[in-house]
Structure 1
Amino acid sequence: AFGGIKMSSGFENAPVTNMLTLVVVALSLALRSSAVTLDLFRLVRGEIWRLVTSFLVFQNIAQLSVGMILLYTCRQFERQMGSKKFGAFLVFSYLVSTLVNVAAVTVASSMGYYLVPSSGPFSLIYGLLMFYYWHIPKLHSTQYAILGMDLSEKSWIYLVAAQLLFSDGVPSVVSGLSGMLAGYLYETDGFGLQSFRLPRFVEVIFSVPGAAVLSLLSGPPARPAANPNTAGANGGTRQNLMMGQQGEGARQQGQGGLWGDIQNFQNPHGDFGAPAIGPGAARMPRTPVPVVPPSEESIEMLMGMGFSREDVVRALQSTGNNVEAAANTLLR
């Protein structure tokens, strides 16, 4: 369902996730109140903004922190799907969660139970976690063991997701289940959902503000330190440069000094830390390391993440057949 592409660290090639994260953090910090939830009784009285805030605003810092960890973990799916397809899934998860939550509130109300589903991007996060379950293989089946239970690296993500799912009890479970339903419907592609794409201009709208905010947060680029030799007259600068070149030439000719010491500790390929080689000593050739081809099991495991065989083999060869390192390389 997903085409593999090369990924970078952070939010590169994930503008929709980047912008959504900034919006969720900003609104959650500014609007922490009960006026953001999908309260059906207040909604019918004209508080239409709840249709938007219920999808974007977490009500407490704990949910915000855990939710952002999960959303950041799932940013890789935007890179695999492409921003236009990922944006279409975002809209679809919002529509499904709104319909499911309204239906749940209506049924609960008919049974005499007052239900207000938890607000925040639960549907998007748990929809993406369904993709995480189906498309991200376990790189280590037994990485940790707690109380006799074997845990992989994926188990920690599921534990964090469970903490968010049960954080508010029934209200948060309802919001999370709506996302799981959205992820299941999209994955099965029963209605051709995976063929929908958002227009190109939507990707641009998400990309530009997010990049601008990140550039402001990172601050201005550092300026190079001023060279004291350039402060004098031109004649003095040229004279200092000539003197520096003469000194460098003398050191490179083996006349002692720091350059000669470093050269004596270099191996034939320029690596530091090899045994000392005298100025007149013969250079020893480096013994070639045999290349071990990657196993078919490792190749099939990484291909299950949506990457092509050629990219998988190249990544495994560049990392010494380390499956975890190769996966990180493919996800950059």
Structure 2
Amino acid sequence: MFTTTGSRGLDKAPLSKGLLLVLSGLTVVLNLLPQYNHLFTYSLQAITLQHQVWRLVCGRLICLDLKDTFCNSLLIYNFRILERRFGSRKFASFLFGTWVLTALVDFLLSEAFHYLFDYQVSELPAGLLGPVFSLFVPFYSSIPKVPVTQLLGQISITNKSLVYIVGLQLLTSSPFMWLVALSGLVSGKLYHGNALGVQRLLFVPRWLSRVGAFVLEPLFSGPPPPNEPPLGMGATLDIQRQQRMDLHDQQVLLAQFHQARRNHRPPQNGLMNWNRFFPSLRHRGQNLPPEPQPHPSPQQLHPTPTAPPLVNTPVAEEQVARLMEMGFSRIDVQDALRASNNDINVATNFLLQHLG
């Protein structure tokens, strides 16, 4: 309800799924074997004084605290929308680039804190926290904010509120988490803005991306969710009737969209394939299909409705601009809004899920 990541789970986000499974699993293993925790602490003092450079890798991958792991996993799960939006290779390049940058910014911020307050920061929270905080930068600038509801009539709740609340919870989980968060935000701004050409220096090579797609993607990619709800598989008559109503609404909405395409312009090459269903949208006042017989035929189970006359409702330019900020073309945004009766939530979810 409060996020724009849709209901497609981890479909088309194999890297996010891999990070969730691997990092969470390693955290559980380390909590079962606490005698090895000292090898994965992110100790700045051990790195500078004892030259244990390997801690820059081990201490910045696995969370030792279960609460940090839980919040970090929730953020990775919600940020999977960025992997769909940018692609797995660009998403991996962003994580790798900010992971390298945060190693440098961590030391700069700790030295600045020591210089200003005469306090030496000897240890920071362990785990893949800096790159995850850096993902707030593209999430804030690339994902549009859609109002969902209001709390007490004054506080606006948007589709991104839950992500910020989880980030705030992670920020307050340990004393120096704020330093890791600030390091991640600075590194994310530097990489997202391509300061000093860091995107050309810190990236995942194409050959490595292909190897990862060939080896890891079959392990972490799952089947896409079904487009249609199953009809009649052990459900009650009320549930079956509701499923048929939802399917009928989807077909009506799709027919309306094709009608809008025919009315406004001829088909053009290079446009995206709209031959998919929108999420369920209730059209009040429309006639529902008749009740099925005891042994309905396939034509009765999947009727092809005729689109009702489509009113040429003007599209709000503000909504068009907000959706175009994500990189979608003006034509696709206008057609999505017309087909969804200017419902920006439906149009946003469809564009993000099928084009993100």
Q: Which runs of 4+ in 1 moved over 6 A?
A: 215-218, 265-268
Paired position in structure 2 for 1:65:
70
Structure 2 gap segments, 5+ residues each: 1-5, 32-36, 225-292
Task: Output the amino acid matched with 1:315.
Answer: A
Q: Aligned match of 2:345 in 304, 324, 328?
A: 324
After superposition, the C-alpha distances for 1:173-231 in whole angstroms (9 at most, x for unaligned) are 1111111001111233232334564222222343345434347999xxxxxxxxxxxxx
Paired position in structure 2 for 1:45:
50
After superposition, the C-alpha distances for 1:112-145 in whole angstroms (9 at most, x for unaligned) are 43431111222211111111112222211x6231
How far apart in 2 are the matches of 1:46 and 1:34?
Answer: 16
How far apart in 2 are the matches of 1:286 and 1:83?
Answer: 38
Paired position in structure 2 for 1:23:
22
The aligned runs of 1:205-224 (5 Å cut-off) are 205-214=211-220
Q: Aligned match of 2:182 in 174, 177, 180?
A: 177
How far apart in 2 are the matches of 1:268 and 1:34?
Answer: 61
The aligned runs of 1:40-119 (5 Å cut-off) are 40-43=44-47, 44-45=49-50, 47-106=52-111, 111-119=118-126
Task: Output the amino acid matched with 2:58.
Answer: T
How far apart in 2 are the matches of 1:88 and 1:115?
Answer: 29
The aligned runs of 1:239-258 (5 Å cut-off) are 258=294
Contact 2:320 2:330 in 1 (8 A): yes
How far apart in 1 are the matches of 2:108 and 2:318?
Answer: 45
Q: Once the 2 structures are TM-superposed, how far is the Cα of residue 151 of structure 1 from its aligned partner?
A: 2.7
Matched, 1:124 2:124: no
Q: Once the 2 structures are TM-superposed, how far is the Cα of residue 267 of structure 1 from its aligned partner?
A: 11
Matched, 1:137 2:137: no
How far apart in 1 are the matches of 2:143 and 2:307?
Answer: 39
- 3-state SS of paired residue (1:150): strand
How far apart in 2 are the matches of 1:41 and 1:172?
Answer: 17
TM-score of the pair, normalised by structure 1: 0.69
Task: Output the amino acid matched with 2:44.
Answer: L
Matched, 1:190 2:211: no
Task: Output the amino acid matched with 1:115.
Answer: S
Task: Output the amino acid matched with 1:154.
Answer: K
Q: 1:173 to 1:320 in 2, by over 3 A?
A: same
Q: Percent identity?
A: 28
- 3-state SS of paired residue (1:315): helix
Q: Once the 2 structures are TM-superposed, how far is the Cα of residue 13 of structure 1 from its aligned partner?
A: 3.5
Q: 1:115 to 1:268 in 2, by over 3 A?
A: closer
How far apart in 1 are the matches of 2:340 and 2:321?
Answer: 16
Structure 1 gap segments, 5+ residues each: 1-6, 219-256, 272-284
Paired position in structure 1 for 2:13:
14
Decide which structure has the larger Cα Rg and report it: 1
How far apart in 1 are the matches of 2:89 and 2:323?
Answer: 24
- 3-state SS of paired residue (2:196): coil
Paired position in structure 2 for 1:158:
164
The aligned runs of 1:223-234 (5 Å cut-off) are none
After superposition, the C-alpha distances for 1:43-80 in whole angstroms (9 at most, x for unaligned) are 35364432112222112222111111111211222233
Q: Aligned match of 1:313 in 334, 338, 344?
A: 334
Contact 1:101 1:178 in 2 (8 A): yes
Matched, 1:292 2:297: no
Q: 1:113 to 1:269 in 2, by over 3 A?
A: closer
User: What is the root-mean-square deviation in Å for CA atoms of aligned residues?
Assistant: 3.4
Q: 1:177 to 1:287 in 2, by over 3 A?
A: closer
Q: 1:190 to 1:113 in 2, by over 3 A?
A: closer
Q: Once the 2 structures are TM-superposed, how far is the Cα of residue 258 of structure 1 from its aligned partner?
A: 3.5
How far apart in 2 are the matches of 1:324 and 1:268?
Answer: 26
Count of aligned pairs between the two proteins: 270
Paired position in structure 1 for 2:40:
36
How far apart in 2 are the matches of 1:125 and 1:268?
Answer: 44
Contact 2:64 2:127 in 1 (8 A): yes
TM-score of the pair, normalised by structure 2: 0.65
After superposition, the C-alpha distances for 1:134-167 in whole angstroms (9 at most, x for unaligned) are 2222211x62315843332222221111110111
How far apart in 2 are the matches of 1:286 and 1:319?
Answer: 13
Contact 2:45 2:122 in 1 (8 A): no
- 3-state SS of paired residue (2:169): helix
Paired position in structure 1 for 2:270:
none
Q: 1:205 to 1:68 in 2, by over 3 A?
A: farther
Task: Output the amino acid matched with 2:93.
Answer: A
Contact 2:135 2:188 in 1 (8 A): yes
How far apart in 1 are the matches of 2:79 and 2:191?
Answer: 16
Q: Once the 2 structures are TM-superposed, how far is the Cα of residue 41 of structure 1 from its aligned partner?
A: 2.9
How far apart in 2 are the matches of 1:156 and 1:146?
Answer: 17
How far apart in 1 are the matches of 2:22 and 2:112?
Answer: 31
